[in-house]
């Protein structure tokens, strides 16, 4: 399933029903959930929400795309420190 024209996203929001392991006080159990993926400009959100009422959020993942590190150019022979140490 996909949702179109969702405000703030750059592509259709994709949703599907999947099974996930959910921890309980007695171990783990399989839970049927909606797995939803939404792309916002530089971020991908993945969420899982239970299919049974009352709906509970099982997980949320906020994936941020890699961005280049800011480069500061240091002149040759300088260490880049703003304060010098006196010995």
What would the pLDDT profile of 12-29 be if each residue is shown by its tens digit?
Answer: 999 999 999 988 888 889
Q: pLDDT tens for residues 25-73?
A: 888 899 999 999 999 888 889 999 999 888 888 899 888 766 565 555 5
Provide the terminal-to-terminal Cα distance of the chain, rounded to the nearest Å.
68
Predicted confidence (pLDDT) at residue 80 exceeds the cutoff of 60 = no
Confidence grade of residue 7 (pLDDT, cut at 50, 70, 90): confident
Residue 66, CA distances (Å) to 12, 42, 44, 45 in order: 22, 9, 12, 15
pTM: 0.64
Residue 20: what pLDDT? 92
Yes or no: say if 52 and 32 are a contact pair by the CB < 8 Å rule: yes
Q: Are 9 and 45 in contact (CB under 8 A)?
A: no
């Amino acid at each position: 399933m996909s949702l179109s024209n969702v405000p703030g996203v750059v592509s259709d929001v994709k949703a599907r029903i999947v099974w996930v392991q959910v921890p309980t006080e007695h171990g783990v159990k399989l839970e049927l959930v909606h797995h939803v993926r939404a792309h916002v400009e530089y971020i991908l959100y993945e969420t899982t929400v239970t299919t049974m009422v009352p709906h509970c959020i099982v997980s949320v993942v906020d994936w941020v795309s890699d961005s280049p590190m800011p480069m500061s150019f240091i002149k040759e022979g300088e260490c880049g420190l703003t304060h010098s140490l006196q010995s």
